[in-house]
Structure 1
Amino acid sequence: MVTGGQAIRGTRVGSGPVGEAERGVDAEGVDVDYHCHNRHTTTIRFSVEAGGEVPETWDCVRCGLPAGEDADNPPEPPSITPYKTHLDYVKERRDDAQGETLLEEALQKLREQRGTA
């Protein structure tokens, strides 16, 4: 609608009446609250018509930890293993005595290459 060269505010081309008749009726659902270890609460709505099972855990939308339905006993956070260096992996395969032997062999080769053996 144009009045005096300007559109009437709050309307757009193709907009129609707003109401339940236009949008349809909301499907039946059940709200489930999930609680994480950091005491965050996430509410998820599941459709009753879909007939699926409600999952026991859900990832918290704020911190990403697993969340469960029991607020007093939320799931424990997963244990995070620290980053292992190359040396850590080598130490898993060999003991100190083997490491000393390999080091001595490598040093001997270097000395021979340099002519200082």
Structure 2
Amino acid sequence: MAVGGNAIRGTRVGSGPMGEQDHGHHADRISVSYWDGLGNETVRHYAAGLPEEEIPDIVDHPHSGLPAGRDKDNPPAVAKNEPYKTHLAYVKERRTDDEAEELLDEALQKLREKRGQ
């Protein structure tokens, strides 16, 4: 048998010297609470030096899936889901019936010219 053995067997990679109690320096951070419409709280942690305008006002609650805001008494409302629209519905929003008819006539005219009619 070999003498010695594997010196790192049974230790975590990057754990430092055996018996080390401090596993690194923790950066300063702030905790921000968010509440959803059901009153559920979730806490997010941000770097202490982060400017206030970079901390989001609304996040998604991880358990309920509802939007959660920083004001406990006035949580954000659930966004209304719009029904599925077809491509034709979107086109009809952008074009009037007269414009659609004019475009159709132009397309048919080009097609007839291409076919030689």
Q: TM-score normalized by structure 1?
A: 0.52
Query: What is the CA–CA distance in structure 2 between the aligned matches of 1:14 and 1:29, rounded to whole Å?
Result: 23
Query: Equivalent residues in 2 for 1:20-99 (5 A)?
Result: 20=22, 22-23=23-24, 25-51=25-51, 53=53, 54-84=55-85, 89=89
Where does structure 2 lack aligned partners over 5 or more consecutive residues? 1-8, 98-117
Runs of 4+ in 1 over 4 A off after TM superposition: 9-15, 84-87, 91-94
Q: What does residue 21 of structure 2 align with?
A: 19
Question: How many angstroms does 1:41 deviate by?
Answer: 1.2
Q: Name the structure with the higher strand share.
A: 1
Question: How many angstroms does 1:43 deviate by?
Answer: 0.2
Identity %: 41
Structure with greater Cα Rg? 1
Change (3 A) 1:15 1:34: closer
Change (3 A) 1:84 1:51: closer
Query: What is the CA–CA distance in structure 2 between the aligned matches of 1:28 and 1:11, rounded to whole Å?
Result: 28
Aligned pairs, number? 89
Q: TM-score normalized by structure 2?
A: 0.52
Question: How many angstroms does 1:65 deviate by?
Answer: 2.2
Paired residue type of 1:36: D
Which digits, 9 at most, give the CA deviation of each residue in 1:49-106, with x for residues without a partner? 344532211121123322111112100000012234689x4x9888xxxxxxxxxxxx
Which digits, 9 at most, give the CA deviation of each residue in 1:9-63, with x for residues without a partner? 964677544322x42x211111110011132211001111344532211121123
Change (3 A) 1:80 1:19: same
Q: What does residue 111 of structure 2 align with?
A: none
Paired residue type of 1:58: V
RMSD: 3.6
